[in-house]
Amino acid sequence: MADASAAGIMNRFAERTGITSPEPQRRYLWTDAFAVCNFLGLERSGDDPEGEAKALTLIDLVHHTLGRHREDDERQGWISGLTGDEAEAHPTAGGLRIGKPLPERAVGERADPRLEWDQDGQYFHYLTRWMHALDQTAWRTGDATCNRWARELAAVAFRAFSYRSSAIAARRMVWKMSIDLSRPLVPSMGHHDPLDGYITCLQLRATARALSPGTELAHTEPENTLVHETRELRAMVRGGDWATDDPLGLGSLMTDAYRLFQIERAGAAVPEELLNALHSGIRIGLDHLKQQNAWDLPADRRLPFRELGLVIGIRALERLAANAPVDDGRGRPDELRSLGAQRPLADRLIEFWLHPRHQQATTWAGHQDINDVMLATALAPEGYVELRD
């Protein structure tokens, strides 16, 4: 029987997708972002002494695969248009491809909503996951280079994905952009994209200062500390309603709540109303899930990576509840402890998807890489959810 530990799952993923073997590269940005965090966490826990080396190898593979045009594209080289040493020094300057199996929709080609799911491009919420992975790497290794790459990616993503339709209109975001970031492929806005961007910018700025004490970065606001981007995204999330009944989206909200707690504990200012809105969204989302019978459906009618995203969020929320002050004068610790009491659900979902028979379902086997990596994150979430050691 295959090793069902997080380390065993990640070792097989690394071998299968060309990280530790000569197998062809199977790079997919979302999956690889979680994988980088997993490798870092596994080294920290002692479960994989080579975890950091694997994480650094994977970062290089992603940048040289998804930071460049596809092999079946007439365009060649880095998406950013940079060449030589400059491209190597700024691998995220043009963003990063999703890694979908089909080429992006051509200019003038009519959109097919079903086909679009398999066509390449760039997603903002995938880019923020990669920013998080780079930032975790910078913190764990003490090398600020990965944080700089993450901040450069945040700046280019904000410019490409956000827009105003007029001088007085509220800023909005595009959900999917073309590979070269020149045109929108799906113009609607992702529900949590502005929130994702804002929290990630806060995180990147906090790490930049922590890794650069005594330098100008710690005392001034140079352009690449994302001052403008953070301010604009803050305006976009003000008054937002983040409630969702999607398990993956709800799990992300839970993780975001713990990220904000850690960012605030590190000394950054976090808006009180945003914390309240997140906790409200989590509570509403949990109420929605309790009214559904999704957990009674067979494996071939469920999406494992979305359910595992919820498990990861529950693990983060448990840590938030455990670390919250006994009494903050606002009743929040009691609320957090109540929200964080979801371990039975998380354990039930983990047990279900660890079962070999359920992993034979097409919903698992057809998307093995993303399902395996997120299962590993759910089993050992430290590398992904803990921003500081």
pLDDT at 325 over 80: no
Same domain? For 232 and 328 the reply is: yes
Q: Rounded distance, CA 115 to CA 117, Å? A: 5
Q: Which of the residue ranges 53-57, 115-119, 320-324 would you say has the lowest mean pLDDT? A: 320-324
Taking only the tens place, the pLDDT of each residue in 286-310 is 988 888 878 889 999 999 999 999 9
CATH of the domain at 209: 1.50.10
CB 23 within 8 A of CB 16: yes
Q: Quick check: helix, strand or coil at residue 280? A: helix
pLDDT at 338 over 80: no
Q: Rounded distance, CA 354 to CA 85, Å? A: 45
Same domain? For 164 and 284 the reply is: yes
Same domain? For 187 and 313 the reply is: yes
Query: According to the model, what pLDDT value does residue 40 have?
Result: 98
Same domain? For 235 and 381 the reply is: yes
Mean pLDDT value of segment 377-381: 98
Q: In the chain, pLDDT over 70 holds for what percent of residues? A: 93
pTM for the full predicted model: 0.95
User: Per the domain annotation, does 314 fall within a domain?
Assistant: yes
User: Per the domain annotation, does 79 fall within a domain?
Assistant: no
Single out the residue of 229, 237, 381 nearest to residue 313, CA to CA. Answer: 381
User: Per the domain annotation, does 85 fall within a domain?
Assistant: no
Same domain? For 59 and 128 the reply is: no
DSSP 103-124: PPPPTTPPP-HHHHTTB--EEH
Same domain? For 285 and 202 the reply is: yes
Same domain? For 171 and 308 the reply is: yes
User: Per the domain annotation, does 84 fall within a domain?
Assistant: no
Same domain? For 55 and 118 the reply is: no
Same domain? For 161 and 58 the reply is: no
Average pLDDT, the chain: 92
Q: Rounded distance, CA 11 to CA 75, Å? A: 34
Counting the structural domains of the chain, the total is 2
User: Per the domain annotation, does 328 fall within a domain?
Assistant: yes
Q: Rounded distance, CA 240 to CA 235, Å? A: 10
Same domain? For 61 and 133 the reply is: no
Instruction: Report the C-alpha dihedral over residues 291, 296, 300, 301, rounded to 10 degrees.
Output: -20
Same domain? For 53 and 100 the reply is: no
pLDDT at 218 over 60: no
Expressed as residue numbers, the domain containing 229 is 93-106+113-385
Same domain? For 52 and 143 the reply is: no
User: Per the domain annotation, does 372 fall within a domain?
Assistant: yes
Extended beta strands in the chain, E state:
122-123, 162-163, 172-173, 176-177, 184-186
User: Per the domain annotation, does 303 fall within a domain?
Assistant: yes
User: Per the domain annotation, does 206 fall within a domain?
Assistant: yes
